[in-house]
Structure 1
């Protein structure tokens, strides 16, 4: 008897492992029902569902070139078709909905104002004069030194003052 993918057969469980069950099919060939194909729900212990000697109906899922046969108990059970979900329109076909301020997701933006946290940075609607590279670099260095000195002060106060180390 030739075994074809998609056919449903009666078989007998001949062995159980932690990864599945071996089922002897008509004609003497043996196939494997993987643990994920035993039931529709999660199977932690296959022994709760099958025992050696059980007669089961299986569906042939695949047949490898080397003779290995993949089986499924789950797919052998006939269940009513679910109604298909209505097809959604493609993204370009959907009407666009611009946000107004009350609908806009907050994300990482601060509540209560348009300025970034900490009060730094330009106001969004304020034009910034164009600066030369040297001016931008000196401003960056000044800001950077201020931040480093603030961090050092905070770190020293947590350690117990003036960089004292605990031993």
Structure 2
């Protein structure tokens, strides 16, 4: 992998470097990331050790990039031939540049959401009589 920035939707070749009960740590190029156990495969995974092992290489898709903390979240599920429904929606988001997902867009939308909530709460305060 070259030195170009990692972005949501990228498909990378990763090596599993460590396993915990909550997920798999991976490295790819100069980057490191985590595949949460819920992103290993469609369906329930009781024991991550039954599905993948340290040293294994796999194709993974970047599903989130936290530029502030340098954390990269990856998924194997999104690359399955028939992923569960919410992963089909996730692929739609990856392939549609008009849709923003991840930490940065959340931060951008937080201000608008906060304003909406303040207006809502202010309206409710006037409705309440003591």
> TM-score, normalising length from structure 2?
0.58
Deviation digits for residues 20-49 of structure 1 (CA, Å, limit 9, x no counterpart): 001111x22111000000010100100000
Q: What residue in structure 2 maps to residue 54 of structure 1? A: 56
After superposing on structure 2, the runs of 4+ consecutive aligned residues of structure 1 that deviate more than 4 Å are: none
Match of residue 18, structure 2, among 4, 15, 20: 15
Structure 1 gaps, min length 5:
83-167
Larger radius of gyration: 1
Aligned residues: 81
1:69 aligns with 2:72: yes
Deviation digits for residues 62-114 of structure 1 (CA, Å, limit 9, x no counterpart): 0012100010011122438x8xxxxxxxxxxxxxxxxxxxxxxxxxxxxxxxx
- Say what the alpha-carbon RMSD is for the aligned residues: 1.9
Once residues 12 and 72 of structure 2 are traced to their aligned partners in structure 1, the CA distance between those partners, rounded to angstroms, is: 12
> TM-score, normalising length from structure 1?
0.45
Q: What residue in structure 2 maps to residue 43 of structure 1? A: 45
More strand per residue: 1 or 2? Answer: 2
More helix per residue: 1 or 2? Answer: 2
Structure 2 gaps, min length 5:
86-130
Once residues 6 and 26 of structure 2 are traced to their aligned partners in structure 1, the CA distance between those partners, rounded to angstroms, is: 13
For residues 71-86 of structure 1, what are the structure 2 equivalents within 5 Å?
Answer: 71-79=74-82
